[in-house]
Structure 1
């Protein structure tokens, strides 16, 4: 069993930070925005954006708020915390795309295996 150092986060808080970071990352991807672009718009380094999305605890709340505002202006941290953002849930409901080959001959599925 590992003891917590004074000032460190509990395991519950660490998992909560990871959940928040993951939600912000899904939101950014649903907007089809590159991490580097979002970081630049927020006035942050790409490394800081990476740490936010990974849920690291050594990121200032102001940096998280600026990054969130760069990704989705007007969205509050409360929306992220309660996972109410329709854009974030859109990513998890996205249908897997299939590659279509234009030059390949059409194959009848019922004739396969004969």
Structure 2
């Protein structure tokens, strides 16, 4: 397991400084999401899912030597969930797999959400 965790750490070291449409770095966005999940009393699995929900973006960047567009629809949620299911199982991978659909739903139904 430590090799897989080290791989995730390396992804953040290499690509976590990149920003995307949220106007913050990948690392800052991940940390903010995890902090919010913890503040709302989420269990450890959900805090980890919040921290790593955009891991698929980093995997795409890594596979393409940084030439990917972070704001493109690269199915990063499926890519990240697939990798995380091997490490943490469904309690982490499930929320990661669904986070884009959840955001799209909120954007479509709540005018104040963006």
Larger Rg: 1
**Higher normalized contact order (CA 8 Å, seq sep 6+, divided by chain length):** 1
Tell me, yes or no, whether TM beats 0.5: no
> TM-score by structure 1 length?
0.30
